[in-house]
Amino acid sequence: MDKLILIKYGELTTKKDNRNFFINTLEKNIKNLIGEDIIIRKDRVRMYIECDNVEEVALKLQKIFGIYSIVICHKVNNNTEEILGKALEIMDSTKKTFKVVTNRADKNFPTPSMEFSRIMGGLILKNSDFKVDVHNPDITLTIEIRNNGTFIYTNELKGAGGYPVGIQGTGLLMLSGGIDSPVAGYLTLKRGVNVECLYFDSPPHTSIEAKNKVLKLASILNSYSGHVKVHIVPFTEIQEEIFKKCPDTYMITIMRRMMYRIAEKYSEKIGAKIIVNGESIGQVASQTLSSIECINNVTNKPIIRPVACLDKLEIINIAEKIGTYETSILPFEDCCTIFVPKHPVINPKLDLCIDYEKVLDYDELIDRCINNIEIISNFEENKFEDLL
């Protein structure tokens, strides 16, 4: 096969001991997201993919974490004539200037890299109208001479970076229908964490559309992972209890403490090492530092807040880039917006929370919630898109 895809690994090349595990995980993720119809060969520095539709596959690879760059390249034998022939064939004739970069990994090839670049540059000059420009060329012709052949290419697509999803174990993402938590999920996947989602559903106070919106967001996150599941918590009873028995101003604080308690207990059950959410410092009353301190107090689990220090516009930029924004701004309300009091407390006090919670039989309520969690893992079969 003349045309194939060459992948350069991302940050993983810095992790010596785990390198094989990283590369094998990346291979599995690629097969899982792109399909089994491709041939993958790999070594410590590169992965090669053979498939029929290289352009289409290259675009899909851009969504997979652990890849620094993707190159559609041409393979020839390690000899100067074949390399020159292919170089002239693939250099875009609408462009004027070029430079050659050679990387000779096959030390049996007699000519050193710099010298080979010079020789190839000279031959191209002689056989075409291109001019050399080593500082700002229109085309950079890269020639990688390896034991298994020479790979030639002129352009390199940027990969998604990060680590292959799964190398870091599992995190439980509190996924609402808003803008922030899907972005938090994306950033966490990027660090190699396998993300599963927890959604607090409060029917009939929240609609089926609100739930479908979350499922749609999860399916978008899944396009970066392939392993996303959504765990739907029946949260109505707890919310109604809080609404009936706790002071208005503390409703949200107490509700969020319950969410964290459930997330902690459930993460133990599914083996998630961290809880992830979309809190951003100062964005709403429940995200002031005092609120975060007070809410966080119910758990010993590490809580990762990837967007904590971004402002809303920065979060929106990422949401647009990853494709979640359009869905996030659909107008269906989630459980938080429905029970929002007029004046939520901005600086909640921990002892008051503890006091107010005494009237709730929350251990039992929490266990009931957890026992009735519904798990959705196959997004294709769900009709949620039709309902949006």
- Closest distance between ligand ATP and the C-beta of residue 279, in Å? 5
217 and 316 in contact (C-beta within 8 Å)? no
Dist. CA 365–CA 374, nearest whole Å: 16
| Rounded Cα gap, residues 238 and 262, in angstroms | 11
Residue 196 interacts with which of ligand ATP, Mg ion, none, CB < 5 to 8 Å by class: none
Minimal distance, residue 208 CB to ligand ATP, in Å: 14
Site for ligand ATP in 195-224 (CB under 6 A): 198-200
Q: Does 9 bind ligand ATP (CB under 6 A)?
A: no
The least CB distance from residue 177 to ligand ATP, in Å, is 6
Which residues in 133-162 contact ligand ATP (CB under 6 A)? Answer: none
> Using the rule CB under 5 A, which residue among 10, 159, 164, 178 binds Mg ion?
178
Q: Are 278 and 334 in contact (CB under 8 A)?
A: no
- Of the pair 103, 337, the CB lying nearest Mg ion is at 337
- If binding is defined by CB under 5 A, does position 287 make contact with Mg ion? no
**Helix, strand, coil fractions of the chain, as percent rounded to 5:** 40, 20, 40
- CB nearer ligand ATP, residue 5 or residue 175: 175
| 202 lines the binding site for Mg ion (CB under 5 A) | no
For position 292 contacting ligand ATP by CB under 6 A, the verdict is: no
Task: Report the alpha-carbon distance of residue 248 to residue 341 in Å, rounded.
Answer: 6
Q: Name which of 214, 237, 213 is nearest 370 in CA terms.
A: 237
- Partner whose footprint covers residue 117, from Mg ion, ligand ATP, none (CB < 5 to 8 Å by kind): none
Amino acid in the structure at residue 5: I
| Under rule CB under 6 A, residue 279 binds ligand ATP | yes
Measured over the CA atoms of residue 75, residue 76, residue 79 and residue 85, the dihedral's sign is: negative
Least distance CB 225 / ligand ATP (angstroms): 17
**d(C-alpha 381, C-alpha 191), whole Å:** 29
Q: How distant is the alpha carbon of residue 363 from its chain centre?
A: 34
Per-residue binder mask for ligand ATP (CB under 6 A), 317-356, x = binder: -----------------xxx--------------------
Altogether, the residues listed in the chain come to a count of 388
Tell me: does residue 30 bind ligand ATP (CB under 6 A): no
182 vs 192, beta carbon nearer Mg ion: 182
Binding mask 123-162 for Mg ion (x = CB under 5 A): ----------------------------------------
Per-residue binding string, ligand ATP, 157-176, x by CB under 6 A, is: -----------------xxx
Q: Which of the listed partners (Mg ion, ligand ATP, none) does 286 bind, with a CB threshold of 5 to 8 Å by partner kind?
A: ligand ATP
- Burial letters for 168-197: b for 16+ Cβ neighbours within 10 Å, e otherwise? bebbbbbbbbbbbbbbbbbbbbbbbbbbbb
Taking CB under 5 A as the rule, does residue 324 contact Mg ion?
no
Q: For the beta carbon of residue 374, count every other beta carbon within 10 angstroms.
A: 12
- Whether the CA torsion 73, 75, 78, 80 is positive or negative: it is negative
* Nearer CB in complex with ligand ATP: 119/340: 340
**Applying CB under 5 A, does 176 fall inside the site for Mg ion?**
yes
Whether the Cβ atoms of residue 140 and residue 103 lie closer than 8 Å to each other: no
CA angle 341, 345, 348 (to 5 degrees): 140
**CB 336, min distance to Mg ion, A:** 5
Interface contacts to ligand ATP, rule CB under 6 A: 174-176, 178-181, 198-200, 277-279, 283-284, 286-287, 334-336
Q: Which residues would be at the binding site for Mg ion (CB under 5 A)?
A: 176, 178
